[in-house]
Structure 1
Amino acid sequence: MSVDTEKPDLSADATDRMSELSQIIDAYNRVTENLQRSHDTLTAEVQRLQEQLASANAALERSRRLAALGEMAAGIAHEVRNPLASIHLYARMLDEDLADRAPQQDIARKIADAVRGLDAIVNDVLTYARPMNLRPHVAIVDSLLRRAVEVVKPMISAAGVTVNFAIEDEDMVITCDGELVHQALVNLIRNAVQAMEDVAGNKVLTVAGRREGAAAVLSIADTGPGIDEQAIDRIFNPFFTTRHTGTGLGLAIVHRLVDAHGGTIAVHTPGSKSSSGQRGAVFTLTFPDHEEATDE
Structure 2
Amino acid sequence: MAFKSFSFGIFVRVVLIVLTAIIGGFAFYADDAFIQVLLCAIILLILTLNLIGYVSKTNRKISLFLESIRYSDFSSSFSKDSDLGQSFEELNRSFNEVIEAFKKTRADKEQQMIFLQIMIQHINTGIISFDSKGRIGVINGSAKQLLQIPQFKDIHDLGKLSKELLRTVLSLQPGSSFTMKVRPDIHLNVQSAAFVMDGNNWTLLSFQNIKEELQKNELEAWQNLTKVLRHEIMNSMTPIASLASSLGVILEEDLVESTPGELYLNRESYLDLSEGLETISKRSMGLVDFVNAYRDYTNTPTPVFSKFPIKQLLEDVGILFREELKKSDIILKINVSPEGFYLHADRELIQMILINLIKNAMEALTNSNEKIIEIKAGLESGTRPFIQVIDSGEGIVPEALERIFVPFFTTKKTGSGIGLAISRQIMHLHKGRLEVISHPDKFTMFTLSF
TM-score (norm 1): 0.62
Distance verdict in 2 for CA 1:239–1:67, change over 3 Å: closer
Quote the Cα distance in structure 1 between the aligned partners of 2:390 and 2:212.
29
Q: Identify which of 217, 228, 245 aligns with 2:386.
A: 217
Quote the Cα distance in structure 2 between the aligned partners of 1:204 and 1:35.
58
Larger radius of gyration: 2
Distance verdict in 2 for CA 1:173–1:39, change over 3 Å: same
Quote the Cα distance in structure 1 between the aligned partners of 2:279 and 2:329.
28
Distance verdict in 2 for CA 1:109–1:43, change over 3 Å: farther
CA deviation string 1:236-284 (max 9, x = no partner)? 22233222332222111111111111111221125xx6xxxx3120101
Look up the match of 2:406.
Answer: 237
Does residue 37 (structure 1) correspond to residue 200 (structure 2)? The answer is: no
1:201 maps to amino acid: N
Quote the Cα distance in structure 2 between the aligned partners of 1:25 and 1:31.
10
Quote the Cα distance in structure 1 between the aligned partners of 2:208 and 2:411.
29
Structure 2: stretches of 5+ with no match in the other structure = 1-79, 82-95, 128-190, 192-205, 230-273
Quote the Cα distance in structure 1 between the aligned partners of 2:400 and 2:294.
21
1:1-296 paired onto structure 2 within 5 Å: 30-31=106-107, 33-40=109-116, 43=119, 46=123, 49=126, 56-57=210-211, 60-61=214-215, 64=218, 118-130=287-299, 132-197=301-366, 199-212=367-380, 213-269=382-438, 278-287=441-450
Task: Calculate percent identity across the aligned residue pairs.
Answer: 23
Quote the Cα distance in structure 2 between the aligned partners of 1:281 and 1:224.
7
2:347 maps to amino acid: G
Quote the RMSD (CA, aligned, Å): 4.6
> Higher relative CO (CA 8 A, sep ≥ 6), structure 1 or 2?
1
Distance verdict in 2 for CA 1:34–1:145, change over 3 Å: same
8 Å contact kept, 2:125–2:208: no
8 Å contact kept, 1:66–1:129: no
Look up the match of 2:9.
Answer: none
1:204 Cα deviation (Å)?
0.9
Q: Secondary structure at the match of 1:125?
A: helix
Look up the match of 2:253.
Answer: none
Distance verdict in 2 for CA 1:149–1:177, change over 3 Å: same
Quote the Cα distance in structure 1 between the aligned partners of 2:444 and 2:423.
16
Quote the Cα distance in structure 2 between the aligned partners of 1:42 and 1:253.
44
Quote the Cα distance in structure 2 between the aligned partners of 1:148 and 1:128.
22
Quote the Cα distance in structure 1 between the aligned partners of 2:347 and 2:216.
24
Quote the Cα distance in structure 2 between the aligned partners of 1:165 and 1:181.
16
CA deviation string 1:127-186 (max 9, x = no partner)? 322365221001221222222333344543443322111122442211101111111111
1:60 maps to amino acid: L
Name the count of aligned residue pairs: 244
Distance verdict in 2 for CA 1:126–1:171, change over 3 Å: same
2:214 maps to amino acid: L
Residue range with higher mean Cα deviation, 213-222 or 230-239: 230-239
1:228 Cα deviation (Å)?
2.0
Quote the Cα distance in structure 2 between the aligned partners of 1:204 and 1:140.
24
Quote the Cα distance in structure 2 between the aligned partners of 1:116 and 1:151.
30
Distance verdict in 2 for CA 1:216–1:125, change over 3 Å: same
1:233 Cα deviation (Å)?
2.6
1:284 maps to amino acid: T
Quote the Cα distance in structure 2 between the aligned partners of 1:228 and 1:173.
35
Look up the match of 2:63.
Answer: none
Look up the match of 1:4.
Answer: none
Distance verdict in 2 for CA 1:47–1:66, change over 3 Å: closer
Q: Secondary structure at the match of 2:291?
A: helix
Distance verdict in 2 for CA 1:112–1:282, change over 3 Å: farther
1:227 Cα deviation (Å)?
1.6
CA deviation string 1:195-216 (max 9, x = no partner)? 112x141211111211221111
Look up the match of 1:15.
Answer: none
1:281 maps to amino acid: T
Distance verdict in 2 for CA 1:68–1:28, change over 3 Å: same
8 Å contact kept, 1:124–1:250: no
CA deviation string 1:83-142 (max 9, x = no partner)? xxxxxxxxxxxxxxxxxxxxxx99999988766654543343223223652210012212
